[in-house]
Chains A and B, each alone.
Chain A
Amino acid sequence: MNTLNAKIDPRDGKLVMAHFYVAFIALAVGGLAGLLQTLVRSGKFVLPAGIGYYQILTVHGVVLGLVLTTFFIMGFQIAATSRTSGTLSNLQRKLGWIGFWLMTAGTLMAATMILLNKASVLYTFYAPLQAHFIYYLGLTLVVVGSWVDGAAVLGKYISWRKQNPGQPSPLITFMAVVNTMLWIVATIGVAATVLFQLLPWSLGIVDRVDVLVSRTLFWYFGHPLVYFWLLPAYMAWYVVIPKVIGAKIFSDSLARLSFILFLLFSIPVGFHHQLMEPGIDPAWKFLQVILTFLVVIPSLMTAFSLFATFESYGRSKGATGLFGWFKKLPWGDARFTVPFIGMLSFIPAGAGGLVNASHQLNQVIHNTIWVTGHFHLTLATAVVLTFFGISYWLVPHVTGRVLTKAMNKLAIYQGVLWAIGMTFMSGAMHAAGLLGAPRRSSFSEYGGAAQATEWIPYQIAQAVGGTILFVAIILMLYIFVNLAFFAPKGEEEFPIGEVSDKAEKSPMVFENWKLWLGITALLILFAYTIPFIDMIQNAPIGSKGYKLW
């Protein structure tokens, strides 16, 4: 740990902030698109100037699901690595900048095509909906850029290991490395479908596309993508939050093991997104459902570890009784309270996830707005509120400013407002989904069908929730701008927790990447090889492209 920097080097800080600027611009644009969507779906609002509902849906999904997340995560992981494993070398920093500019150029290309209404293919860009080739090329650049960006983190990790032989790497660097590996392995799927299927097809080089293969490659990427979003939040929960509240990390080994389990089990599980898809043998769907349920183990390990950290801390402050420790937590500190709201939301989010991943229960909720409600709890609350919680200290840490009392208070209001808005919006989405309301689609009365009439009050509740959430987004942007440019100068801590004295030393086997990547590859080959051969051997003629907007 001799390379621990109390303060990030300003050169690395600049790279981090560049990522954050794009991420928060994405929040503004994507948030506005989200608000408009909920208003349209209430049936009380029509988009002006011929703007299409599916166009803003694509903006919302791509800009928040891909751009905000990837930029924020890359920035945060670079910051965490630089803080705990030492300042990046010039080469590593250069890689970070190249990655950043590639991702930014790709984002601008994809965004331009969406704004020109040439790529309203929704967030999943499922074939046979066909976008302009520049859209696919832009997304490819985002992915390639993220690989180059990730190389900076991996490079720093490798040089740290060389300088500290036989020592376990700093916990948060280790976690950033696991997440980078997970991302690289996962994005091979989306890169394959874009490069070999969607790009040649949208360029007119080939006429038809194999829809099932492209969707399978998309979900090979799509599920670990969820964990790529989630693991940085877990980094904060495991490593940062204990320091913020003045406690110790419950167990270093448990944290590392849970991250390794996520690497192993989050990839060979894409079929649980395709349970209703014809053309995949149910036996292979069943196998992937089992692998999906194995992800429950590291999730519950995380829950246990966090409860234990909180309880140990509360009891050290004199708490008694079964839940007395709960009151001792620092509720006045936004760096804790806002991510804590995120943690709480992960409980119903996880419960919904178990429903989604169960083959039969998936029939109840498949393609309904329940699913949208689900990922607004996972990504748009658990993950995003943790990212906001990170920004409250990381942005001033990098810009040499402080989170003032007034901003801290505003940040807590922002988190609470988010929780209220999301309870309305996501709660109504879950309920309407159980009543059969479809996801993605614009407002319709479906010819006056009685069932569709039942959905309308829930759609109005979604618009109320969406509006409250948009106010929370404005508050967040205000706080971000304040912390980046206007807050008083000073020193804001980058909190990194220490491991409890009672915890065992971590075994070095966790750093054995040949072993873990080897098992990851074996599990992927096991789960996907035969179904893929089956799909290709029995492939239909393929589909022409459709532009339905």
Chain B
Amino acid sequence: MAKMELNRKTKTEIEDSSSLKGTLASVFLLGFFLIVTWVSVYFLFLDRF
């Protein structure tokens, strides 16, 4: 049981240290923010002109 746990921990660490999933999520959030800003002003434009 203890041995199994040890193995699992080591595996998680190796996967984690090279993972860039936070970077992927951050870049998606950034892209989402850019699109939301653009679309908001676009609707303001449609409303006014």
Contact = CB atoms under 8 A, between A and B. Distances in A.
A546 interface: no
A312 B38 contact: no
A321 B42 CA distance: 36
Contacts of B49: 360, 363
Contacts of B16: 315, 319-320
B38 A304 contact: no
B10 interface: no
> What class of interface size applies to chain B in its complex with A?
20 to 34
Interface string A343-367: 0000110111011001011011100
Tell which of B21, B26, B42, B44 has the most Cβ of chain A within 10 Å.
B26
Contacts of B26: 303, 307, 311, 323
Contact of A352 (B23, B37, B48): B37
B37 A300 contact: no
A304 B27 contact: yes
A322 B22 contact: yes
Interface in B5-49: 12, 16-23, 25-27, 30-31, 33-34, 37-38, 41-42, 44-45, 48-49
Contacts of A354: 34, 37-38
Nearest to B34: A351
A132 to B, nearest CB: 40
The SS class assigned to the B binding surface is: helix
A427 to B, nearest CB: 13
Interface string A283-303: 000000000000000001001
Contacts, number: 74
A297 B42 CA distance: 22
A316 interface: yes
A501 B33 CA distance: 33
Contacts of B27: 300, 303-304, 307
A321 B12 CA distance: 11
A434 to B, nearest CB: 7
Contacts of A315: 16-19
Contacts of B38: 351, 354-355, 358, 361
Nearest to A305: B23
A434 B40 CA distance: 11
B19 A360 contact: no
B10 to A, nearest CB: 13
Interface of A: 300, 303-304, 307-308, 311-312, 314-316, 319-326, 347-348, 350-352, 354-355, 358, 360-361, 363-365, 434
20 contacts: A303-B26, A308-B20, A308-B23, A311-B23, A312-B20, A315-B16, A319-B16, A320-B12, A321-B22, A322-B21, A322-B22, A323-B25, A325-B22, A347-B33, A351-B33, A354-B37, A355-B37, A358-B42, A360-B49, A361-B45
Given A300-B30, A311-B20, 9 more contacts: A300-B31, A308-B20, A312-B18, A315-B16, A322-B21, A323-B22, A325-B22, A360-B45, A360-B49
- The 7 A-B residue pairs with the shortest CB-CB distance, nearest first, are A351-B37, A307-B23, A307-B26, A311-B22, A308-B23, A315-B17, A355-B41
